[in-house]
Structure 1
Amino acid sequence: MTTSTDALKQELTFTRFDRMSEAYPHRPAVVYLGEYFSYRRLRDLSERFAGAMADLDVAKGDRVMIYIPNCIQWVIAFLGIQKLGAVVVPVAPIYTSHEITYMIEDAEVQTVICTDTNFCYVKEAFAETGLKQVVVTNLIDLLPAWKRWLGHLFDKVPTGKVDADPRVHRFTRLIRHAPLADPPDIDPAGDLSYILYTGGTTGFPKGVPGNHVGMTSYVNDVTEDVAGDHLKEGEDTYIAVNPLFHIMALGLFMAVGLNRGNTTVLMPVPQVDAILEAIGRYRVRWLLGVPALYRMILENDRQDRYDLGSLRYCYCGGDVLPEEVKERWQKRCGIPIYQVYGSTEVGHVAYSKIGTDPSPRAIGHPLKSRQCRIVDPVTLAPVENGQSGELLVTSPYTLKAYYNKPEETEKTYVQIDGATWCRMGDFVSALPSGELIYMERSADIIKHKAFRVSASEVEAVLQDHPTVIGACVVGVPDTKVGERIKAIVVLKEDARGVGGTELMRWCRDRLAAYKVPSYIEFRDMLPKSKVGKLLRREVRDDEIRRISKGKPKPVAKGA
Structure 2
Amino acid sequence: MTHNYLPDAGVTAVPAGPLAVDAAVALGDVPRVFHMPHTTLAENLEISARRFPDKVAVQFYHGATTYAELLAQVERMAGYLQQACGVRRGDRVVLLSQNSPQFIVAYHAILRADAVVVPANAMLLEDELRHIVTDSGAVAAFAASELVGQVAPLVGTTPLRHVIVHHYGDALPAQPDDGLSIPDWVQQRSSGTALPAGAVHWQQAMAAGSTPSPRSAGLDDLCMLPYTSGTTGAPKACMHTHRTVMVSVAGSQLWRRSHAESTFLAVAPMFHLLGLQNGVNAPVYMGGTIVLLPRWDRRTVAQLVARHRVTFWAAPPPMLVEFFAQPGIESFDLSSLACVVGGGAAVPDSTARLMKERYGLQFVEGYGLTETASFIIANPLAAARSGHLGVPTYGVDARVIDPATLTEVPRGEVGEIVVHGAQVMLGYWNQPAANAESFITIDGKRFFRTGDLASVDADGYFVMRDRLKRMVNASGYKVWPAEVEAILHTHPAILEACVIAARDPHRGETVKAVIVRRDGAGVSEEELLAWCRTSMATYKAPRIVQFVERLPRSATGKIAWRELQEQEMQGAPLPNHKA
Q: How high is the TM-score relative to the length of structure 1?
A: 0.78
Gaps of 5+ in 2: 1-13, 19-34, 473-480, 490-494, 515-538, 548-567
* Aligned partner of 1:45 among 52, 61, 73: 73
Instruction: Return the offset for 1:360.
Output: 3.5
Partner residue, 1:493: none
SS at match of 1:304: helix
Structure 1 residues 223 and 546, CA gap change in structure 2 (3 angstroms)? closer
SS at match of 1:199: coil
Question: Deviation digits for residues 131-161 of structure 1, max 9, x if unmatched?
Answer: 211111111122233459x999977646899
* Aligned partner of 2:335 among 309, 333, 343: 309
Distance 2:417 2:436 in 1: 17
Whether 2:44 is the aligned partner of 1:16: answer yes
* Aligned partner of 2:213 among 171, 176, 182: 182
* Aligned partner of 1:89 among 91, 100, 118: 118
Whether 2:434 is the aligned partner of 1:408: answer yes
Distance 1:152 1:277 in 2: 12
One-letter amino acid of the counterpart of residue 300, structure 1: Q
* Aligned partner of 1:116 among 133, 138, 145: 145
Instruction: Return the offset for 1:543.
Output: 6.9
Distance 2:381 2:214 in 1: 39
Question: Deviation digits for residues 144-191 of structure 1, max 9, x if unmatched?
Answer: 33459x9999776468997534511111222233353422311312x1
Instruction: Return the offset for 1:547.
Output: 7.2
Counterparts of 1:377-526 in structure 2, within 5 Å, are: 377-396=403-422, 398-443=424-469, 483=498
One-letter amino acid of the counterpart of residue 22, structure 1: R
SS at match of 1:104: helix
Partner residue, 1:457: none
Instruction: Return the offset for 1:43.
Output: 0.7
Q: How high is the TM-score relative to the length of structure 2?
A: 0.75
Whether 2:222 is the aligned partner of 1:192: answer yes
How many residue pairs align between the two structures?
479
Structure 1 residues 71 and 434, CA gap change in structure 2 (3 angstroms)? same
Distance 1:283 1:131 in 2: 42
SS at match of 1:140: helix
Partner residue, 2:378: 351
Distance 1:153 1:251 in 2: 26
Structure 1 residues 269 and 419, CA gap change in structure 2 (3 angstroms)? same
* Aligned partner of 1:103 among 132, 136, 142: 132
Instruction: Return the offset for 1:47.
Output: 0.8
Whether 2:574 is the aligned partner of 1:548: answer no
Partner residue, 1:60: 89
Verify the 8 A CA contact 1:319 1:482 in the aligned structure 2. Answer: no
Verify the 8 A CA contact 1:277 1:306 in the aligned structure 2. Answer: yes
Whether 2:61 is the aligned partner of 1:30: answer no
Gaps of 5+ in 1: 447-473, 489-522, 528-536
Percent identity reads 22
Instruction: Return the offset for 1:332.
Output: 2.7
Distance 1:361 1:547 in 2: 20
Distance 2:541 2:168 in 1: 42
Partner residue, 1:211: 241
Partner residue, 2:475: none
Structure 1 residues 292 and 398, CA gap change in structure 2 (3 angstroms)? closer
One-letter amino acid of the counterpart of residue 417, structure 1: D
Q: Compare 72-81 and 317-326 and name the one that shifted more.
A: 317-326
Instruction: Return the offset for 1:21.
Output: 0.9
Structure 1 residues 165 and 91, CA gap change in structure 2 (3 angstroms)? closer
Partner residue, 2:389: 363
Verify the 8 A CA contact 2:401 2:415 in the aligned structure 1. Answer: yes
One-letter amino acid of the counterpart of residue 229, structure 2: G
Distance 2:237 2:186 in 1: 35
One-letter amino acid of the counterpart of residue 170, structure 2: D
Distance 2:138 2:270 in 1: 19
Q: Compare 200-209 and 88-97 and name the one that shifted more.
A: 200-209
Distance 1:144 1:432 in 2: 55
Instruction: Return the offset for 1:125.
Output: 2.6
Distance 1:163 1:151 in 2: 30
Partner residue, 2:203: 172
Whether 2:215 is the aligned partner of 1:221: answer no
Structure 1 residues 551 and 311, CA gap change in structure 2 (3 angstroms)? closer
Instruction: Return the offset for 1:8.
Output: 4.8
Distance 2:231 2:174 in 1: 48
Structure 1 residues 84 and 365, CA gap change in structure 2 (3 angstroms)? same
Verify the 8 A CA contact 1:240 1:266 in the aligned structure 2. Answer: yes
Question: Deviation digits for residues 496-544 of structure 1, max 9, x if unmatched?
Answer: xxxxxxxxxxxxxxxxxxxxxxxxxxx9x999xxxxxxxxx97585779
Verify the 8 A CA contact 1:217 1:369 in the aligned structure 2. Answer: no
Partner residue, 1:276: 302
Structure 1 residues 556 and 199, CA gap change in structure 2 (3 angstroms)? closer
One-letter amino acid of the counterpart of residue 77, structure 1: A
Distance 1:104 1:415 in 2: 32
SS at match of 2:446: strand
Verify the 8 A CA contact 2:513 2:546 in the aligned structure 1. Answer: no
Q: Compare 540-549 and 13-22 and name the one that shifted more.
A: 540-549
Structure 1 residues 253 and 157, CA gap change in structure 2 (3 angstroms)? closer
Distance 1:155 1:215 in 2: 32
SS at match of 1:369: coil
SS at match of 2:330: helix
SS at match of 1:103: helix
Structure 1 residues 272 and 87, CA gap change in structure 2 (3 angstroms)? same
Structure 1 residues 153 and 338, CA gap change in structure 2 (3 angstroms)? closer
Distance 2:417 2:182 in 1: 50
Instruction: Return the offset for 1:365.
Output: 1.8
One-letter amino acid of the counterpart of residue 63, structure 1: R
